[in-house]
Structure 1
Amino acid sequence: MSARALRSFSRSISWIPTGKPQRTLAKEASASGIGLHSGASSRVRLLPAMAGEGRHFIAGDTKTRVQATVGNCVDSVLSTALSNGGIQVRTVEHLLSALEALGVDNCRIEIDGGNEIPLLDGSSKGWVDLINSTGLCIATDDKGLERDRSVPKLLEPMHLNRDDSFIVAVPSTETCISYGIDFPKVPAIGSQWLSFTMNEDKYTKEIAPSRTFCIYEEVQKLLNAGLIKGGSSENAIVCSIKDGWLNPPLRFHDEPCRHKILDMIGDFSLLAESGNQGLPIAHILAYKAGHSLHTAFVRRLLEDMNFE
């Protein structure tokens, strides 16, 4: 990562009141499934939370709270993980993506039977359906008062790069993500680009159903590394270098690129604090990025907010 990429701009991002109250789930909902990397079964309960509590996980016998903020993000391969006091929660990105996109600002997430969020079908559609089945309501704090929902707005350009991978964000009047991927050795995937303007209905229809993907020739290497123990053709789309997609049909011709946008929304949600929005008002351009670069960029945004 270049030193220039870590440059800060004074007051390049700030919180803007939306004039709308924070929201939470109207009632409890739950889902069960297999974790992608652990292969363990777990049950997740989504519960209403008070205004200002934000999104947080409850995991482990100690019932430790792990806040869904970038400050709790820890190194993890092929997923996003959070930790607090030695208690870790793994593969949180798909659930957080759905919560962020649907405006669930405050939510208590309890995990039983392991520390990894179930993969479901490899997309965030199952979480979107679950959230929609419960409905949302205005969240109030411990005094019964509503709180305004704020959103981070980018005021100056920012960028971060690692080798030929980069993320650039520029000021905009709306939240837009342009994402590019490139797999020159995998012709069925190849080079893909997609621009998406954030909208709850469009997310539900065009981004949420996109599933995680892997390269068939890399599967054994990942298994040897102790990863994707719970992966299967039921929760991921698998592409071979020679034979193309092994479990068609795709839900979209550019499903891998759409899934990268899904992941980015989940990772950028970690900028959220105290029940506010995480995904900033900005045009975000990413190329060959991943969870690690996503969260590194979010850390830069957070540092810039605290810059004096």
Structure 2
Amino acid sequence: MVKTLKTTVECSGVGLHSGQRVTLKLMPGDRHQGRYFVRTDLPGEPQIPARIEAVNQTLLSTELAVGEAKVRTTEHLLAALVGLGIDVVRIEIDGPELPLLDGSAVQWVEAIAKAGTQTLTDEAIATPVVIEPIWLQEDEAFVAALPAAELRFTYGIDFTYKPIGNQWHSWSPAAEPFAQAIAPARTFGFADQIEQLKKAGLIQGGSLDNALVCDQEKWLNPPLRFENEPARHKLLDLIGDLSLLGTIPTGHYLAYKASHKLHTQLAKTLQATLF
């Protein structure tokens, strides 16, 4: 079946990289358009499909664009939408970057629950299946799509920072709800990189209220929501990036020390081979 929202819900907040305050509306959409953004602040209110073809750049977040119209840091909201089975939604936004909110997807989940859902058609959506293993690697980092009987995501990270170290998390939607297992995991960063990133024009809206931050020895803003919250957040990012396929093919997605660049490269490879 194809699901959309029942009513409109509004969220406001600050973009992670732009530092710009924006207002975003999640609205029922046209069943033939899937998930798509509308830049209401630009002339003509251009639409940007939440599709892999629209990926513009992937530096520390995923940005989509059509012509000069862009929308950045789409992954947390898109993960929430696909994680809750929302196939169709119109997303109106009055700026170039989605609000980070608390750095996780939990407030997006709450907003979707507030809006409610409705079924547009009972017609089943065909879900592609991963038939052959696909591996993409960049130095130590890799992503893979492997044949599997059910959808599963497994993510590993490895940092020299003691609070994180080596972490893994594996999650299957059939076993545990997205809203409880993945959505609460917040984005994270490192105290010794903040000044450099800000000088580069990034993380202008970042704070201890919307990201976990650690130094070499400890977390600066505990407590964590999960012992392996950073690994779970990277898994959340992967789901959001793969949602750009429209429907995530059935398979086991495995990633280690990967990035939005590798996530979206895998999505493009899957699109070329399965869709």
TM-score (norm 2): 0.96
Residue 97 (structure 1) aligned to one of 51, 76, 79: 79
For the Cα contact (< 8 Å) 1:24–1:137, is it kept in 2?
Answer: yes
Give me the whole-angstrom Cα distance separating, in 2, the residues matched to 1:43 and 1:49: 18
SS, match of residue 151 in structure 1: coil
State the partner residue of 1:172.
148
Partner of 2:52: 70
Query: What CA deviation, in whole Å up to 9, does each residue of 1:57-78 have, x standing for no partner?
Result: 0012321110000100011310
Distance 1:229 1:133 in 2: 30
Moved more, 33-42 or 195-204: 195-204
Structure 2 Cα separation of the partners of residues 294 and 115 of structure 1 = 22
Q: How many residues in Structure 1 have an aligned counterpart in Structure 2?
A: 273
How high is the TM-score relative to the length of structure 1? 0.86
How far apart are 1:135 and its partner, in Å?
1.3
* Counterpart contact for 1:33–1:42, Cα < 8 Å: yes
CA distance in 2, matches of 1:195, 1:41: 34
**Match for residue 50 of structure 1?**
30
8 A Cα contact 1:101 1:200, kept in partner: no
2:274 maps to amino acid:
M
What's the counterpart of residue 25 of structure 1?
5
Matched, 1:134 2:115: yes
Indicate yes or no: 2:211 matched with 1:236. yes
Task: For 2:84, give the aligned amino acid.
Answer: L
What residue in structure 2 maps to residue 110 of structure 1? 92
Shift of residue 52, structure 1, vs aligned partner:
2.2
CA contact (8 A) 1:52 1:147 kept: no
Give the Cα–Cα distance (whole angstroms) in 1 for the partners of residues 206 and 185 of structure 2: 16
The answer to whether the Cα contact below 8 Å between 1:268 and 1:295 also exists between their aligned partners in 2 is yes
Task: From 169, 172, 188, give the equivalent of 1:197.
Answer: 172
1:53-98, CA deviations, whole angstroms, 9 ceiling, x for partnerless residues? 1000001232111000010001131000000021000000000000
Distance 1:78 1:153 in 2: 29
Q: State the partner residue of 1:269.
A: 243
CA distance in 1, matches of 2:178, 2:142: 23
Matches of 2:73 and 2:175 in 1, distance apart?
22
The one-letter code of the counterpart of 1:64 is P
Structure 1 stretches of 4+ with a deviation exceeding 6 A read none
**Equivalent in the alignment of 1:285:** 254
Amino acid at match of 1:25: L
Structure 2: unaligned runs, 5 residues or longer: none
Residue 220 of structure 2: aligned partner? 246
* Structure index of larger Rg: 1
Q: Counterpart in 2 of 1:155?
A: 131
Deviation at 1:259, TM superposition (A): 0.1
Gaps of 5+ in 1: 1-20, 141-145
Q: Percent identity?
A: 44
1:221-256 residue CA offsets vs partner (Å, 9 max, x unmatched):
100110000000000000101x31000001111000
> Alpha-carbon deviation of 1:199?
4.0
Listed one character per residue, the Cα deviations across residues 79-120 of structure 1 (whole Å, up to 9, x for unaligned) are 0000002100000000000000001100000002x2110000
The code of the aligned residue for 2:55 comes to C
Considering only aligned residues, what root-mean-square deviation do their CA atoms show, in Å? 1.3
Aligned twin of 1:303 = 272
**SS in structure 1 at match of 2:127:** strand
